[in-house]
Amino acid sequence: MQFVTIPAMSVSMAVATLVGQNLGAGKLRRATQAVWLGAAIGFVLLTMAGIIVYAFAPEVVAFFIPQDRPSSLKAHISCR
């Protein structure tokens, strides 16, 4: 879950800063562009991350499971 929330929050915080700066400067069009650009970047990055994690799901799961418990890894992989 953290693979999704941390990058999404970082993009949204950066976009919020850009929007706030531009709204304060009275540049509404530039603030709107920052929102759309941030949404597009967030979508692309998170989609790519999701595809990579899905493609390598057994390896990702194995990274978080201790080596002395291989049966739980097999059970998780078989659910896929």
pLDDT at 23 over 80: yes
User: pTM for this structure?
Assistant: 0.69
Q: What mean pLDDT value characterizes the chain?
A: 85
pLDDT at 1 over 90: no
Instruction: Tell me how far apart the alpha carbons of residues 9 and 1 are, in angstroms, rounded to a whole number.
Output: 12
pLDDT at 25 over 60: yes
pLDDT at 40 over 90: yes
Per-domain residue ranges of the chain: 2-78
